[in-house]
Structure 1
Amino acid sequence: MAKLIYINNMSLDGYVEDERGAFDWFPPDDEVFAFTTDLLRSVGTFLYGRRLYESMAVWETNTALAAQSELTGEFASVWKAASKVVYSTTLAAVSTADTRLERQFDSAAVRRLKATASSDLTVGGANLAAQAFEAGLVDECQLLILPIVVGGGKPGLPTGMRVDLELIDERRFRNGVTHLRYRPLER
């Protein structure tokens, strides 16, 4: 059975967006960017909320982005190779290949997808991830903690519920970013 992995960047105080809705508060770093690309290599399907999908779709729709460097080209290649499922009630259509639009998150359908997938899945977007956590579908939580405190915004982890986690791996980067890999414990 494939794993459903929540991967996200967040501030040290736990936010994925600041109070203005921005997430541009950390400059790109080649070491972290290459690491993230490697994390996504084994992923066969990305599950996205609308806002994150619209942010990520540029890796296919903007060819100049992939042409910027070998690193960006490799990331674009990895991103385009995976299937995408976008959950949105407002998006009229998707703009990328191998992408399916769903109007609501269906935990039973995701459970079936995990059971039949030949490679891992990721869930992206804090709100969508919260639904996956609530349904008990998340098998791993991988967080890239950025060395900044933004003081408020959109929480990167579910609120209003408890999830006990076991740390299974960690890595520190030269720029102060820390990657933490957790597995949810049985409730």
Structure 2
Amino acid sequence: MRNLTFAMNLSLDGYIAAPGDGLGWGVSSDELFQWWSDRVGSTDLALYGRKLWETMSSHWPTADQQPGATPAQIEYAGRWREMPKVVFSSTISTVDWNARLVTYDAVAEITRLKADDGGRMDIGGATLASAAMRAGLIDEYVLVTHPVLVGGGTPFFTALDNWVNLSLVEIRTFPNDVVVARYETRR
């Protein structure tokens, strides 16, 4: 059975996007970018909601060909293109870049994918992750917390019907006061 992880950058007040879908609040560093790149390189399958897919697929497929692309950006772009992806959406009709589109019940498909053999799956996108969260499908939460308060926007956590008990398994700090906390779901 596969492990499903929800990992995203978030503000200290718990938002993955500021009002108006703003993402410019993150404070990156070379070390944090490399951490994300290594994570992509070790992900067996990435699950994307439509909005996150549109954000990622509008930049990373050709980011390594842009003037001034750093070696780290070139590495990340290649890893992102090679990583198998499943995009969940009822409003788009095609996807590319080593991805397949699922237009039916996301929870049923995620449950099926978790039952398969294989390595870690990452899930991203607020709406998709919240459906998986409410269904009890997420095994691990990775909060990459940036030292900024954005005051509203798209929350990392959704309203739940039941508590989810977690165990802290790792905490790591990065430059610019970014903290990564990794929690496993206690079942």
User: What's the TM-score once normalised by structure 1's chain length?
Assistant: 0.91
Residue 168 of structure 1 aligns with which residue?
169
User: What's the TM-score once normalised by structure 2's chain length?
Assistant: 0.91
Opposite residue 76 of structure 2, the aligned amino acid is F
CA drift of 1:79 comes to 1.0
Q: Distance in 1 between matches of 2:2 and 2:67?
A: 29
Aligned residues: 185
CA drift of 1:12 comes to 0.1
Residue 139 of structure 2 aligns with which residue?
139
Opposite residue 98 of structure 1, the aligned amino acid is N
Structure 1 gap ranges (5+)? none
Is the CA contact (8 Å cut-off) linking 1:59 and 1:66 kept in structure 2? no
Is the CA contact (8 Å cut-off) linking 2:47 and 2:121 kept in structure 1? yes
Is the CA contact (8 Å cut-off) linking 1:126 and 1:156 kept in structure 2? yes
Is the CA contact (8 Å cut-off) linking 2:28 and 2:176 kept in structure 1? no
Matches within 5 A, 1:15-26: 15-26=15-26
CA drift of 1:27 comes to 4.0
Opposite residue 68 of structure 1, the aligned amino acid is A
CA drift of 1:107 comes to 2.3
CA RMSD of aligned residues (A): 1.7
Is the CA contact (8 Å cut-off) linking 2:63 and 2:73 kept in structure 1? no
Matches within 5 A, 1:76-155: 76-94=77-95, 96-155=96-155
Q: Distance in 1 between matches of 2:186 and 2:61?
A: 36
Is the CA contact (8 Å cut-off) linking 1:2 and 1:116 kept in structure 2? yes
Q: Report runs of 4+ in structure 1 exceeding 4 Å deviation.
A: none
Q: After superposing the two structures, state which structure 1 stretch, 79-88 or 142-151, moved more.
A: 79-88
CA drift of 1:50 comes to 0.6
Q: After superposing the two structures, state which structure 1 stretch, 6-15 or 23-32, moved more.
A: 23-32
CA drift of 1:74 comes to 1.1
Task: Tell me if 1:64 matches 2:100.
Answer: no
SS of the equivalent of 2:19 reads: coil
CA drift of 1:66 comes to 9.1
Opposite residue 89 of structure 1, the aligned amino acid is S
CA drift of 1:160 comes to 3.6
Is the CA contact (8 Å cut-off) linking 1:59 and 1:65 kept in structure 2? no
Residue 157 of structure 1 aligns with which residue?
157
Structure 2 gap ranges (5+)? none
Is the CA contact (8 Å cut-off) linking 1:167 and 1:180 kept in structure 2? yes
**Cα distance change of structure 1 residues 92 and 66 upon mapping to structure 2, 3 Å threshold:** farther
CA drift of 1:42 comes to 1.5
